[in-house]
Amino acid sequence: MAYLAQTQSGQPILILKEGTSRSRGREAQRNNIMAARVIAEAIRSTLGPRGMDKMLVDSLGDITITNDGAAILDEIDVEHPAAKMMVEVAKTQDDMVGDGTTTSVVLAGELLKKAEELLDQNIHPTIIVSGYRKAAKKAMEVLEKIGVTVDLDDKETLKKVAITSMGSKAVGTAREHLAEIAIDAVKQIAEKRGDRWVADVDNVQIIKKEGKSLHDTELVRGVILDKEVVHSGMPKRVENAKIALLNCPLEVEKTEFDAKINIESPEEMEAFLKEEE
């Protein structure tokens, strides 16, 4: 459907392109809420300690098994604008906190569900939004009261936090081992800014290697250059080495030869073959 306007002379003006649909009022509200709630329902079953994993198959046939909300939504091809906003909620939560993506999306879906019930009672959307903002402010006040300050040396409490965060990761029996590594890694990069400890997780590099189990994961307190040796005869281990830092590429380049051989007679061909032997 195309939407037209007319000039004073009756000349039609095309406003929206062919195939464009338009909704307004209560219908638009219902459509947007429904689209957002569909996203929340898609990952609801992955929430909590009894959450189920989902198998994702992309267009190339690659299979991913996960119950991580951000990973699931990242693989879903979403077109509806309201649904895309729910996906952005998960991405923002993952970028800022690194956990709680499923919880944030499911909670947003429930808030929209309750908002729809209020809309059915003819309560104006601005009043609903104002109420939700007051509730969010109150929730933050309660969190400040019940929050517990954890010392950086309280490894047992930090370990519990790390294990809880790994609930959505397929790490199996290696959960405690990886939790201890995560704590040690964060303590290595943590720095105090004012009265708070801040850790930039971008300073932790994770390198994957095939051939061993998750229990063989180890923390290297240093820098890893994930490169193969240039020549098989080079040593695999060097202790007390001197390290040169170069601000330029250091690669072994193969020399290319552009040669041409002109052979004009059988005798020259025979001589060339003998030389090759």
Under 8 Å between Cβ of 150 and 190: no
Return d(Cα 216, Cα 207) in angstroms, integer.
13
Q: What is the pLDDT of residues 209-222, one digit of tens each?
A: 888 888 889 998 88
Q: What is the pLDDT of residues 224-251, one digit of tens each?
A: 888 888 788 888 888 998 888 888 877 7
Q: What is the pTM of this model?
A: 0.66
- Over residues 172-182, the mean pLDDT reads 86
Does the structure show a pLDDT above 80 at 252? no
Does the structure show a pLDDT above 60 at 7? no
Tell me what pLDDT residue 16 has. Answer: 61
Tell me what pLDDT residue 21 has. Answer: 67
The position carrying tokens 């400890």 is 197
Q: What is the pLDDT of residues 64-75, one digit of tens each?
A: 888 888 888 888
- Over residues 84-102, the mean pLDDT reads 86
Work out the pLDDT band at 106, boundaries 50, 70, 90: very high
Q: Which residue segments constitute the domains of the chain, with CATH numbers given?
A: 16-146 (1.10.560.10), 155-216 (no CATH)
